[in-house]
Every structure is written in structure tokens, then in C-alpha cells.
């Protein structure tokens, strides 16, 4: 029997305009911080994570600032894991993350692999979002929250992505075992139908002989 291995997953980076989505992805992939990007471009990246057994490739969509509702819904259907980013300096971006969370939970439930990222923690003096608000959103998303400054460092970014990859692997294993259980159920039910048919045939042939 062939063993399925986790070789990759589709990840969506969600968040309002200017929260640092592109800076986050670029930091994660290159460890570098580049300040300015075109906000209206949606980008798709393939990022290979070396692993002892098989390489794992993440397909990452860095969503654009002005996404249509249809686009958001497409991304929610497409993604296997989600990074929700808001900026602690921008209340509207927090509210935007809450709206995206509602859309995700409505469509996919709250068990989907996800992490919440509170970005721009280097700008505490102009903070607009309380920690408690972020914690409550993370609870609703059923996921951990990471306080990061993409501008200041790589560590928080990589920790958030490592956590997401752990959740994605767990989900993969869960799906594999569910598939195995349902394949087993199918075999069992085939066997059951066969046994039933066999019993019927026997009792018919028995009554024929009486
Ligand atoms: N101070 C600060 N600025 C940041 C941080 N992350 C991103 N930015 C800046 O925020 C702006 C928007 O970033 P960008 O990645 O284009 O946001 P996006 O629209 O969500 O993709 C840029 O000027 C970034 O340099 C951060 O952690 N701290
Ligand atoms: Mg961007």
C-alpha cells in the first residue's frame, strides 16, 4: 500500500490594505524586509521548505488591497491554510480581519488551519487595537495569535508560519485517516451486501430443495 506524504499546501494571506501582507510574505521567503510594494497586485508564490523526508512546497497567495467579494470567496474555497493579518495601528484593519473571519467560519467552519498576526508592533505609540481584542478574535478563529513587527524581525514571522505548517500537517493526517476509515467502511459495506446476497441465495436454494 502506498503511503501518502505531506508535500505542500495552499496558503492565503488575508488582511486589509497596508497591514503588511506583502512585507510579511517577502520576509518569510527571503528573510529580508522591503518597505514598499504595489498594493493592488495579487501575487502567487511557491515557497519550498526543506524537510528531512520530502520537500514541502507552499503555494502562497498574497491578496490585493481591493479584492472583490467574489475573489475573497474564491480564496476562501481555494485555501487550505490562512494567515489573517491586521495592523495594531489601524482599527479598520482589525475590523476588516473580523469580517474575513466571519466569512471563513461561515463557509468552512472554525477548524480550518489558521493563524492571526498582529503586525506593526514596533509602533506601540500609535496603537489603536487592544491586545484583548486580538485575543478574542483569535479565540473566534480557534487559532493562535502572533504579535510581530515584520519591519523589525524575521522570528515572529517564521514562528507564525511554522505554526501554520504544523496545523496543515495535522489536517492532512486527519484527512488521510478519515479517507482510510471511509474506504474501510466501503469495503465493509460491500462485504455486508455480498454476505446478505449470499445468505438470500442460500435460503432461496434451501427453499427450492424443500
Ligand atoms: N512600521 C512598520 N511598517 C510596516 C511593517 N510592516 C509593513 N510595514 C509598512 O506598511 C506599508 C504597507 O506594507 P505592505 O506589505 O505593502 O502592505 P499590504 O498592502 O498589506 O501588502 C509599507 O510601507 C511597509 O513598509 C511593520 O512591521 N512596521
Ligand atoms: Mg500587498
For 122-161, write each residue's pLDDT tens digit.
999 999 999 999 999 999 888 999 999 999 999 999 999 9
193: pLDDT strictly greater than 80? no
Q: How far is the CA of 120 from the centre of ligand 2 (A)?
A: 15
210: pLDDT strictly greater than 50? no
Q: How far is CA 135 from CA 117, 130, 208, in A?
A: 11, 9, 73
Q: Which residues form the pocket of ligand 1, taking CB atoms under 6 Å from any ligand atom? A: 15, 17-23, 35-37, 39, 65, 119-120, 122-123, 149-151
Place 207 in a pLDDT band, splitting at 50, 70 and 90.
low
145-147 vs 43-49, strand pairing mode? unpaired
CB half-sphere exposure, 3, CA atoms < 13 A: 5
Render the chain in DSSP notation, one character per residue: -PPP---EEEEEEEE-TTSSHHHHHHHHHHS-------TT--EEEEEEE--SSS-EEEEEEE--SS--HHHHHHHHHH-SEEEEEEETT-HHHHHHHHHHHHHHHHHH-S-S-EEEEEE-TT-GGG--S-HHHHHHHHHHHTS-EEE--TTT-SHHHHHHHHHHHHHHHHHHHHHHHHHHHHHHHHHHHHHHHHHHHHHHHHHHHHHHH-
Q: Residue 48 has what pLDDT?
A: 96
In the chain, domain spans: 8-173
Place 201 in a pLDDT band, splitting at 50, 70 and 90.
low
CATH of 8-173, one of 3.40.50.1820, 1.10.540.10, 3.60.20.40, 3.40.50.300: 3.40.50.300
Q: How far is CA 62 from CA 5, 144, 147, 178, 181, in A?
A: 26, 20, 19, 31, 35
Q: Give the highest mean pLDDT range of 50-59, 61-70, 144-153.
A: 144-153
CB half-sphere exposure, 5, CA atoms < 13 A: 8
Q: How far is the CA of 63 from the centre of ligand 2 (A)?
A: 7
How far is it, in rounded angstroms, from Cα 23 to Cα 151? 8
Q: For a substitution probing ligand 1, which of 15, 18, 93 has the most ligand atoms within 8 Å of its CB?
A: 18
Q: How far is the CA of 9 from the centre of ligand 2 (A)?
A: 21
Specify the residue with its C-alpha closest to ligand 1, atom 19. Answer: 18
Q: Residue 191 has what pLDDT?
A: 64
Amino acid at each position: 500500500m502506498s503511503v501518502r506524504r505531506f508535500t505542500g499546501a495552499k496558503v492565503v494571506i488575508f488582511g486589509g490594505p497596508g497591514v503588511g501582507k506583502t512585507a510579511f510574505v517577502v520576509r518569510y521567503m527571503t528573510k529580508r524586509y522591503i518597505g514598499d510594494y504595489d498594493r493592488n497586485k495579487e501575487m502567487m508564490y511557491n515557497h519550498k521548505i526543506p524537510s528531512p523526508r520530502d520537500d514541502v512546497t507552499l503555494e502562497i497567495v498574497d491578496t490585493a488591497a481591493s479584492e472583490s467579494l467574489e475573489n475573497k470567496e474564491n480564496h476562501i474555497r481555494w485555501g487550505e491554510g490562512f494567515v489573517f493579518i491586521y495592523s495594531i495601528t489601524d482599527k479598520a484593519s482589525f475590523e476588516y480581519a473580523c469580517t474575513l473571519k466571519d466569512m471563513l467560519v461561515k463557509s468552512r467552519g472554525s477548524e480550518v488551519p489558521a493563524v492571526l498576526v498582529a503586525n506593526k508592533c514596533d509602533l506601540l505609540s500609535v496603537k489603536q487595537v487592544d491586545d484583548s481584542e486580538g485575543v478574542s478574535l483569535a479565540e473566534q478563529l480557534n487559532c493562535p495569535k502572533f504579535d510581530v513587527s515584520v519591519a523589525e524581525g524575521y522570528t515572529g514571522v517564521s514562528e507564525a508560519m511554522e505554526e501554520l505548517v504544523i496545523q496543515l500537517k495535522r489536517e492532512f493526517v486527519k484527512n488521510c485517516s478519515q479517507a482510510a476509515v471511509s474506504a474501510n467502511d466501503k469495503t465493509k459495506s460491500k462485504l455486508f451486501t455480498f454476505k446478505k446476497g449470499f445468505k438470500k441465495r442460500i435460503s432461496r436454494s434451501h427453499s427450492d430443495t424443500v
